[in-house]
């Protein structure tokens, strides 16, 4: 399930990094008469196929990850058996299908076939599909599941199916021993990037692991939502789930006994890497995360302080500690800028030392670049964005990429590099059209970042 309040949010405001929904059509009066408000926007950018982000951890560690992903729900509830599709998987689209969706579905299906070895394809016209992806307006989906941007349910082929069966054994994943019909629900009135992100995560969970784990640095199966598209780790987990040595109905002990040989065959490089299974994340920390990112004002800072305290008490030195610092930095802004910057720097330090967490570090570096831009430290903003732009591009995160390029454009212009600034700004707007959708939202994002730079130049 992908949550409405995306945790790794990117929205900027002139008060610095307040985490807000996507920009509205309202723009700053200080810059609304400029070229950006008048000119036609460039064409929408799109990512070319690229090499997936590889899995780089030990097989012993990833065996534990697989068991926790497959035999647990996000609520912490245990699942009695492994479930999967037995036989070919077919996919169909229904509802108010956005124009970008068919191509995005084809791309992710192609990756699942090639990288995960799954027999999956689009259903023939009139064929009953194994996985039905239904697009509905966001307001309709919110009535069904208020907290979800998109979600997946078993034993349904439409939203009306799900609503009729909601609360019964039919829609209980704990009662599913073999998958037959699954429905995915995605908003029809959202940006191309959110459509793609929902398709990647929900299709992977429709056919594969149902859980999300905050400890994973290299996966979309993580409620922090830093990763936008399926990674090499995710594809490995799916390949394991559909390994011929496994079958639907196996319990955890039966699967665990077969995992070492399966992983040695599928990922021989992981045999020589050190690492052991890590324990499940404390439910107290997960509950605090959920409360913190929906809280207001002082309660948000109190929650973030508790996240840091729990992470330290648990002895974590991984991405969960970094994420706690990231949350506290956001909560401290704009009232305690010095403290916020310290927390962002600490998050960057931890994430840079964590394999698979480069995209996490890039998010924090974007926050630091915003501080630098607002303070008039243009050389620092250029250094931070130069490091983060290729990471955002490689991870196919258009919202992060467009924001970084827009910051870079403002810093280049302020330092007299006018031609380079124009090129970066045009590139930024093309990616922003994919990330945010409407022209008004693209212009609002550019205006917000321009306002940060104007503040820095005023001193």
CA torsion sign for 173, 176, 179, 180 is negative
Mean pLDDT of 286-314: 93
Q: Could you tell me if 424 and 412 are in contact, meaning their C-beta atoms sit under 8 angstroms apart?
A: yes
Tokens of 403: 């924001």
Among 280, 283, 307, 309, smallest CA distance to 295 is for: 307
Q: Strand, coil or helix: what is 357?
A: coil
Q: Is the pLDDT of residue 88 over 90?
A: yes
CATH of region 59-272, choose from 3.40.390.10, 1.20.1250.20, 1.10.10.10, 1.10.287.130: 3.40.390.10
Tokens of 34: 């400029």
Mean pLDDT check: name the lowest of 117-126, 338-347, 394-403, 437-446. Answer: 437-446
H/E stretch holding 182: strand 182-187
- Model confidence at 2, pLDDT cuts 50, 70, 90, reads low
Peptide bond into 334 cis (omega under 30): yes
- Those residues with Cβ within 8 angstroms of residue 201's Cβ, 6 or more apart along the chain or in another chain: 2, 150, 220, 221
Return mean pLDDT, the chain: 90
pLDDT, residue 1, reads 64
Mean pLDDT of 405-434: 97
Mean pLDDT of 215-239: 95
Mean pLDDT check: name the lowest of 145-149, 256-260, 443-447. Answer: 145-149
Q: Strand, coil or helix: what is 180?
A: coil
CA torsion sign for 13, 14, 17, 19 is negative
Per-residue pLDDT tens digits for 93-112: 999 999 999 999 999 999 99
The Cα–Cα gap between 361 and 357 comes to 6
Q: Is the pLDDT of residue 382 over 70?
A: yes
Query: Which sequence spans correspond to the domains of the chain?
Result: 1-47+373-459, 59-272, 281-355
Mean pLDDT of 155-177: 95
Quick one: how far is CA 215 from the chain centroid? 14
pLDDT, residue 32, reads 37
H/E stretch holding 131: strand 131-136
Quick one: how far is CA 414 from the chain centroid? 32
């Amino acid at each position: 399930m992908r949550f409405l309040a995306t945790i790794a949010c990117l929205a900027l405001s002139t008060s610095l990094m307040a985490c807000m929904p996507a920009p509205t059509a309202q723009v700053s009066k200080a810059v609304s008469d400029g070229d950006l408000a008048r000119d036609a926007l460039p064409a929408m950018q799109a990512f070319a196929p690229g090499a997936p982000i590889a899995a780089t951890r030990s097989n012993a560690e990833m065996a534990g990850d697989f068991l926790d992903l497959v035999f647990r729900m996000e609520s912490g509830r245990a699942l009695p058996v492994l479930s999967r599709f037995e036989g070919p998987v077919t996919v169909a689209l229904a509802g108010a299908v956005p124009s970008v969706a068919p191509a995005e579905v084809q791309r992710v299906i192609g990756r699942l076939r090639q990288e995960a070895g799954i027999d999956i394809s689009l259903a023939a016209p009139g064929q009953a599909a194994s996985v039905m992806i239904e697009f509905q307006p966001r307001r309709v989906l919110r009535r069904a599941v208020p907290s979800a941007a998109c979600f997946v349910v078993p034993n349904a082929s439409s939203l009306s199916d799900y609503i009729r069966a909601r609360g019964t054994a039919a829609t209980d994943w704990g009662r599913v021993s073999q998958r037959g019909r699954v429905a995915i629900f995605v908003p029809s009135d959202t940006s191309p990037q959110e459509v793609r992100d929902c398709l990647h995560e929900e299709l992977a969970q429709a056919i594969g692991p149902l859980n999300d784990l905050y400890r994973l640095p290299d996966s979309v199966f993580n409620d922090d939502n830093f990763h936008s598209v399926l990674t090499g780790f995710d594809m490995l987990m799916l390949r394991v789930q559909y390994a011929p040595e496994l079958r639907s109905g196996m319990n955890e002990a039966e699967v665990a006994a077969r995992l070492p040989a399966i992983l040695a065959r599928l990922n021989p490089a992981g045999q020589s890497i050190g690492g052991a299974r890590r324990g499940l994340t404390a439910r107290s920390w997960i509950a605090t995360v959920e409360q913190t990112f929906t809280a207001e004002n002082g309660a948000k800072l109190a929650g973030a302080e508790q996240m840091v305290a729990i992470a330290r008490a648990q002895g974590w030195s991984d991405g969960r500690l970094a994420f706690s610092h990231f949350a506290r930095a956001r909560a401290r802004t704009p009232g305690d800028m010095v403290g916020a910057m310290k927390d962002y720097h600490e998050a960057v330090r931890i994430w840079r030392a964590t394999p698979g967490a480069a995209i996490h570090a890039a998010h924090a570096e974007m926050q630091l670049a915003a501080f630098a831009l607002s303070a008039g430290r243009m050389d620092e903003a250029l250094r931070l964005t130069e490091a983060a732009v290729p990471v955002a591009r490689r991870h196919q995160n258009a919202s992060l990429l467009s924001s970084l390029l827009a910051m870079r454009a403002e810093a280049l212009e302020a330092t007299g590099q006018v031609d380079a600034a124009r090129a970066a700004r045009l590139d930024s707007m093309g990616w922003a059209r994919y990330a945010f959708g409407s022209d008004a939202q693209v212009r609002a994002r550019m205006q917000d970042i321009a306002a940060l730079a104007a503040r820095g130049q005023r001193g």
